[in-house]
Amino acid sequence: MRGPHNIWRLIRTGATFERTGAMKVALDAMNAPAHIRVAARILGWPFAWLGYKGDPNLPPVTRAITALGPAYVKFGQILSTRPDVVGIELANQLSMLQDRLSPFSQDQALRTVAADLGRPVGTLFSEFSEPVAAASIAQVHRARRIDNGREVAVKVLRPGIEAAFRRDIDAFHFAAAMIEALSPATRRLRPRDVISHFESVVAGELDLRLEAASASEFAENTSGDEGMAVPVPYWHLSARRVLTTDWAEGIPMGDIAALKEAGHDLPALGGRVLQLFLRHALRDGYFHADMHQGNLKVASNGDIVIYDFGIMGEIDEYTRRVYAEILMGFIRRDYERVARVHFEAGYVPRDRDIREFARALRAVGEPIFGADASRISMANLLAYLFEVTERFGMATRTELLLLQRTMVVVEGVARSLDPQINMWEVARPVVESYIRDNLGPRAAVRDLTRAVQVLGRFAPLLPEFLERRMPELLRETPAPAQPGKGRGFWGGVVLGAVVALAGAVLGAWLL
């Protein structure tokens, strides 16, 4: 329950941030005004002794978050998707936050697997290792199937993690409501929506059957993509608290020295990572939203192996088209086009000046395109864009945040492989291909076909609809329109019937 009892949890959280020195770092990153800093200091200092000490060897923010527990670690990772809230610098720090939690016992893991799969572990796996990775929500074991000897990864949820997350999320909701009430200026950043987004992500990660479904869908979407591989989930060895997939064999993408020693083409890998991400986002509207080096490996044949599908992003077809047009406008340095797309999509309030907005976008883009290849950065572009959004009163677009954040992460991965990569030149063929297929004449014909098919499906319902609604429609009919000023009620009915009939005929022909 989101009541005052959460105040104690928030005091403990603030005390931990004060004790570890994370409070100052966080306030600096978000450019908090002086009165907020003073208030935080006055309220935090007397309670600092109540805070957790944490690991003094870690940086302040990481130290505080890991000390507070799994929910805060996961919240830190999710908050890294909101640079508009915490600032670009702190978001980058949070995106690199590593789970430094101790694994739970092997016996507990074996009991969980046996309970959820309904059979003793020894009858399912011939080998079952100690944990090889421990994260905020689950840990992973390396195992071998007893039926075919295939090596697999078995992910097991932490005991009691669901109840722990419910308690902490409740406190987060309470804090977000207080922030909005006490500081109306923060409402543009929609802190309550941020917490709701966090809650929805965590809910998906707490049921490993949903992660299996994400892996399965992603594998189907990308089955024809060359140069990548996805570990396949095994449904009969998975349940709510257990997920079994193929073992992701390969060199971790963060191990640059090992990749070089193995003879892999690092610039080619960097370009392929970026193009794969853009292709999945634009073509499928469903993309891996946590593509950091820890979730990527390079197989011996050079394929990029993508795994861990706890956080996935999804955008609808209309938003994909808008996003592609914005990207293409920046690539071509057509700022008027970028501005027009923002206004047409409703991203900028109608009372703002479109020409002034275009000039602001030019100020965003030109310094980047005037730089050498190593400095052409999507991360810099997004940093400037967030400044523009505040100036022009643009509300936070939650459907784009995960996409934008993932692009920044993927850029970091690509640059670690090829510091001289020109992000825009690598992205250009993917974006142009999408626009050619989805915004050209063929796309218009395809959209019209879909509309006619829908009309064809609903046309048989028109007679029944008119019979049931005709008396009401007649009663609500306005005065007859003056000649030449409109079709009137019956003209609209006749026109609707003609359109429906045409839709039925064309839909039947197209189907």
Amino acid, single-letter form, for residue 253 = M
Instruction: Report, as an integer, the average pLDDT of 332-360.
Output: 86
Give pLDDT tens digits for 106-130: 999 999 999 999 999 999 999 999 9
pLDDT at 160 over 80: yes
Determine the pLDDT at residue 503. 40
When the pLDDT of each residue in the chain is averaged and rounded to a whole number, the result is: 78
pLDDT at 380 over 70: no
How many angstroms separate the CA atoms of 481 and 152, rounded?
73
Q: What SS3 string covers 316-367?
A: CHHHHHHHHHHHHHHHCCCHHHHHHHHHHCCCCCCCCCHHHHHHHHHHHHHH
Determine the pLDDT at residue 203. 76
Determine the pLDDT at residue 509. 39
Residues 305 and 298 sit within 8 Å (Cβ to Cβ): yes
Q: Following DSSP, what letter does each residue of 99-146 receive, concatenated?
A: P-PPPPPHHHHHHHHHHHHTS-GGGTEEEEEEEEEE-SSEEEEEEEET
Instruction: Report, as an integer, the average pLDDT of 350-368.
Output: 84
Q: Can you say whether residue 250 is alpha, beta or left, with left for phi > 0 and alpha for psi between -120 and 50 degrees?
A: left
Determine the pLDDT at residue 143. 97
pLDDT at 507 over 50: no
Please state the domain extents for the chain.
1-100, 101-247, 250-439, 452-510
Residues 392 and 357 sit within 8 Å (Cβ to Cβ): yes
Give pLDDT tens digits for 307-321: 999 888 888 888 888
Residues in a beta bridge with 155 = 140, 243
The kind and range of the H/E element at 453 are helix 441-458
Residues 173 and 205 sit within 8 Å (Cβ to Cβ): no
Q: Model confidence at 84, in pLDDT bands (50, 70, 90)?
A: low
Determine the pLDDT at residue 437. 80
Q: Which residues have C-beta within 8 Å of that of residue 473, sequence separation ≥ 6?
A: 489, 493
pLDDT at 153 over 80: yes
Phi, psi of 260 (to 5 degrees): -65, -45
Give the range with max mean pLDDT: 163-177, 202-216, 226-240, 387-401. 226-240
Sign (positive or negative) of CA dihedral 358, 361, 365, 367: positive
Q: State pTM to two decimals.
A: 0.72
Q: Which residues have C-beta within 8 Å of that of residue 395, sequence separation ≥ 6?
A: 188, 190
Active site residues per annotation: 290
355/510: higher pLDDT: 355
Residue 80 tokens read as 């890294």
362/483: higher pLDDT: 362
Give pLDDT tens digits for 271-321: 999 999 999 998 999 999 888 888 999 999 999 999 999 888 888 888 888
The 8-class DSSP code of residue 303 comes to P
Q: How many CA atoms lie within 13 A of 317 on its CB side?
A: 5
Q: Model confidence at 250, in pLDDT bands (50, 70, 90)?
A: very high
> How far from 2 is each of 57, 71, 178, 234, 440, CA to CA, in Å?
35, 16, 11, 39, 50
Determine the pLDDT at residue 506. 38
Determine the pLDDT at residue 493. 40
